[in-house]
């Protein structure tokens, strides 16, 4: 235990020392973040990237509170939505390591309030991997806004009456109520509230000064306002809804730097030992032997396991809730981690967005003017929204400009035709899309992060010789194949 504590405090000191000095840095990741904030119209975003457990960049774009003219700072707290589940999973594993839990015991041994459903045995392991059969939010919920739900065992009345979706272990179905039930088990074995247990066992030992469980009855220092960005409208501030009945699944506030501190401590086995950590990063199995999860990722004990835009292994969790969109992602192959938070529930492929932010802060920061394919081109090609209805001829035309200035290689995709129409239909706040050079794979291949209404996506710029090039990639599954010609060089 002393060895683990020493390792933990080394992580805290190493990461925290770099957070403040990096905050205002202008860089490829900052350009990408600013471009995303501008095209989506989300009031405020904040992000941080670490490499080998050291925070190397933090940044912000937009406002924490538009009406009160408050800018985002390094201490600004955002709702982290379902990223909260990673903290709950870590707490359950820590209590397991300390002998309070058996992950394969019937949940009713810890929470007798959970109603019997025939012979269905639900375990903590199944709850954490969303294979328990417990459903997500629905119209059948019996939520009572007049109740305080001080203990999570009280909230079982909201969802405990609903039939299971399937026999435990037979399928996968994402369930925030499953994590509320995990929280009730924590309260039972620690004989205290979930809030107190989380503070005592996770938040305080890690030194997470800017991570708290939200309480809507009081004002939290440095918390953002919450916004809705419905299509066709400017951002509207929304009322802070109570999420106390699903603490454990959501309901936490944090900063990107605090999330990276948590990720570093977890990765270094300073919260739980390497055995439980590795188990949590291993896909859970259904009874038929298949992995639990979705199309783009498997699910372990809380964590999602997948591949980044470049095929490298990542473990992560994203979140969405009124007034928030969030991601925490660890790239074990690259030795990086990224946290991205915002104060509106914008639609995006936020996993890819976060991964490209990490690439921009590592590989992108090491590029210089000699790596930038400067020039201006007209382009023509295909923008394929549906692979089943491929256009008979080119439907995408426009211009791409790329230049190097201020230690930054960036560009602008100025579309006509299909891509321009797509931007209008997606309520983009700008008529063009910004490009940020984030990596170079060889002399001919450059990777640009394209800021779109649905997040950031990688486009490969491939030089063909003679000044011509191709721009290849996709935007949320919409394929782009562009031929660039007529280059005008910006070089002196």
The confidence score (pLDDT) of residue 101 equals 98
Are 49 and 195 contacting, i.e. CB atoms less than 8 angstroms apart?
no
| CA 279/CA 412 separation, integer angstroms | 44
Closest CA to 357 of 52, 30, 24: 30
Are 58 and 257 contacting, i.e. CB atoms less than 8 angstroms apart?
yes
Residues 6+ apart with CB under 8 A from 31: 360, 408, 410, 434, 436
Residues 6+ apart with CB under 8 A from 7: 268, 269, 270
Helix, strand, coil shares of the chain, percent, nearest 5, are 30, 30, 40
The confidence score (pLDDT) of residue 226 equals 96
Which residues of the chain form CATH 2.40.128.120?
367-488
| CA 440/CA 348 separation, integer angstroms | 25
> What's this model's pTM, rounded to 2 decimal places?
0.93
Are 411 and 432 contacting, i.e. CB atoms less than 8 angstroms apart?
no
Which residues of the chain form CATH 3.40.710.10?
2-86+192-364
Q: Work out the widest C-alpha separation in the chain, in whole angstroms.
A: 78
The strand pairing partners of 416, in sequence order, are 397
105 phi-psi bin (left φ>0, alpha ψ -120 to 50, beta other): beta
| CA 413/CA 411 separation, integer angstroms | 7
Residues 6+ apart with CB under 8 A from 476: 349, 452, 454, 455, 457
Indicate the fold that domain 367-488 takes in CATH: Lipocalin (2.40.128)
| CA 337/CA 447 separation, integer angstroms | 19
CA atoms within 13 A on the CB side of 238: 18
Residues 6+ apart with CB under 8 A from 208: 202, 254, 258, 261, 262
Structure-block tokens of residue 254: 């944090």
Residue 146: burial class (beta carbons within 10 Å; 0-12, 13-18, 19+): exposed
DSSP 99: T
Are 3 and 274 contacting, i.e. CB atoms less than 8 angstroms apart?
no
DSSP 202: I
The confidence score (pLDDT) of residue 207 equals 97
Closest CA to 45 of 301, 266, 327, 260: 327
Residues in the chain predicted with pLDDT less than 70, given as ranges, are: 1-25, 117-118, 231-232, 490-492
Strand 252-254 and strand 212-213: the pairing is: antiparallel
For residues 364, 367, 371 and 377, what is the CA-based torsion angle, rounded to 10 degrees?
40
Second-level CATH architecture of 2-86+192-364:
3-Layer(aba) Sandwich (3.40)
| CA 450/CA 445 separation, integer angstroms | 15
Terminal CA-to-CA distance of the chain, rounded, Å?
61
The confidence score (pLDDT) of residue 315 equals 98
| CA 187/CA 195 separation, integer angstroms | 9
Closest CA to 226 of 81, 126, 24: 81
């Amino acid at each position: 235990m002393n060895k683990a504590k020493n390792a933990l405090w080394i992580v805290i000191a190493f990461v925290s020392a770099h957070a403040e000095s990096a905050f205002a840095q202008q860089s490829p990741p900052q350009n990408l973040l600013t471009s995303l904030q501008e095209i989506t119209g989300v009031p405020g975003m904040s992000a941080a990237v670490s490499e080998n457990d050291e925070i190397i960049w933090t940044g912000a774009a937009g406002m924490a509170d538009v009406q009160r003219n408050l800018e985002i700072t390094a201490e600004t707290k955002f709702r982290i939505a379902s990223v909260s589940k990673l903290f709950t999973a870590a707490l359950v594993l820590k209590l397991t390591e300390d002998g309070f839990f058996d992950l394969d015991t019937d949940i009713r041994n810890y929470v007798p309030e959970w109603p019997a459903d025939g012979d269905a045995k639900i375990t903590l392991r199944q709850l954490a991997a969303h294979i328990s059969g417990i459903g997500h939010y629905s119209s059948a919920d019996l939520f009572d806004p007049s109740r305080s739900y001080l203990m999570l065992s009280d909230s079982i009345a909201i969802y405990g009456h609903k039939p299971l979706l399937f026999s435990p272990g037979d399928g996968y179905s994402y369930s925030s109520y499953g994590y509320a039930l995990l929280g009730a088990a924590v309260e039972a074995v620690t004989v205290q509230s979930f809030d107190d247990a989380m503070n005592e066992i996770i938040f305080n030992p890690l030194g997470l000064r800017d991570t708290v469980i939200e309480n809507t009855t009081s004002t939290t220092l440095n918390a953002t306002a919450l916004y809705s960005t419905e299509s066709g409208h400017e951002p509207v501030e929304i009322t802070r809804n109570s999420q106390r009945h699903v603490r454990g699944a959501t309901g936490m506030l944090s900063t990107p730097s605090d999330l990276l501190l948590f990720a570093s401590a977890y990765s270094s086995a300073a919260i739980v030992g390497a055995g439980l950590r590795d188990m949590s990063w291993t896909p859970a199995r259904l009874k038929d032997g298949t992995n639990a999860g979705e199309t783009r990722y498997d699910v372990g004990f809380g964590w999602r396991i997948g591949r980044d835009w470049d095929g490298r292994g990542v473990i992560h969790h994203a979140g969405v809730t009124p007034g928030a969109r969030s991601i925490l992602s660890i790239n074990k192959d690259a030795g990086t981690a990224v946290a991205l938070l915002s104060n509106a529930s914008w639609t995006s492929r936020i996993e890819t967005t976060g991964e490209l932010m990490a690439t921009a802060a590592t590989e992108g920061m090491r590029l210089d003017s000699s790596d930038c394919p400067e020039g201006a081109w007209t382009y023509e090609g295909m923008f394929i929204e549906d692979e089943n209805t491929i256009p008979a001829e080119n439907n995408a035309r426009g211009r791409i400009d790329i230049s190097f200035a201020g230690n930054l290689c960036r560009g602008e995709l100025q579309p006509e035709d299909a891509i321009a129409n797509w931007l209008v239909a997606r309520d983009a706040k700008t008529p063009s899309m910004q490009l940020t050079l984030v990596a170079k794979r060889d002399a001919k291949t450059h990777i640009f992060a394209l800021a779109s209404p649905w997040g950031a996506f990688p486009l490969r710029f491939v030089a063909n010789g003679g000044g011509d090039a191709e721009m290849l990639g996709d935007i949320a599954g919409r394929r782009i194949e562009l031929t660039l010609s007529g280059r005008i060089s910006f070089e002196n």
